[in-house]
Structure 1
């Protein structure tokens, strides 16, 4: 059994580590919790302690899933990733599916433009290739980046 003083020290260590991680970059609550549990396995013997540390960070406005999602979506779009791949990564980092859906509801036109920019960057053109083998290769490339099949086809001018 852990004494009260040890429990308070552990809580403070959890909060300090969370603060350190959040100073480096934004983290989703789920991701932050996993990192704290990995760093402090002794905290697992105290149910709810890690969650309380994450909640404390949220109350201090150090951690926000909304900020994390907004930041991640912006960075992923700049890297040329599609909505499917972004959604999958965000689901690993936070549980708020409504925030994720809202952040990714940019409209098909935006995602098609991102896919076109990616095609142009990689292949130097967005025209539909004459060879079906080459077209299939480019479609697979776009789909691996997280674009839907319809977005991939529409990306070809």
Structure 2
């Protein structure tokens, strides 16, 4: 039977809902009042049992956020903010290298429609939107000319 001060069952429940980074899991367990040392031990156990993996979390997060129209710069920053190491962030982003142009085009089309901007002001507004979404200029450079 689990002890009331054992964070393991709560951590399992959180991971059953979705992937979490180690830092996210630590924050949530500490917010629930669990002791820091017990939380650290719990996370180490989960990682040893391969129930928690920052690499798997990064892959899942990249897939989810890119599907919602966000680019690699924004996704990289969000993962870093969630405590995922740079060497775990790069591989899932690199897998999508050939798709960022199409995703930028789709994000622009969803927000502004299929008609391309006619004047510089509107083009700049749409470019700012794509930059805010985390796309680099190289990802949307040809979006406004209709080139692939």
Pair 1:67 & 2:56 matched: yes
Give the alignment of 1:92-131 within 5 angstroms: 92-106=81-95, 108-125=97-114, 127=116, 129-131=117-119
The one of 34, 41, 45 equivalent to 1:52 is 41
CA distance in 2, matches of 1:135, 1:54: 47
How far apart are residue 36 of structure 1 and its match? 1.1
CA distance change for structure 1 residues 105 and 35 in 2, over 3 Å: closer, same or farther?
Answer: same
Pair 1:142 & 2:94 matched: no
TM-score with structure 1 length normalisation?
0.82
How far apart are residue 16 of structure 1 and its match? 1.2
TM-score with structure 2 length normalisation?
0.87
> Which of the two has greater helix per residue?
1
Aligned residues: 143
Is the 8 Å Cα contact of residues 116 and 126 (structure 1) preserved in structure 2? no
Give the equivalent residue in structure 1 for 2:141.
153
CA distance in 1, matches of 2:127, 2:95: 21
Could you tell me which runs of 5 or more consecutive residues in structure 2 were left unpaired when the two chains were aligned.
none
Bigger mean CA deviation after superposition, 21-30 or 103-112: 103-112
CA distance in 2, matches of 1:154, 1:107: 18
CA distance in 2, matches of 1:96, 1:20: 24
CA distance in 2, matches of 1:17, 1:107: 34
CA distance change for structure 1 residues 108 and 60 in 2, over 3 Å: closer, same or farther?
Answer: closer
Could you tell me which runs of 5 or more consecutive residues in structure 1 were left unpaired when the two chains were aligned.
1-7
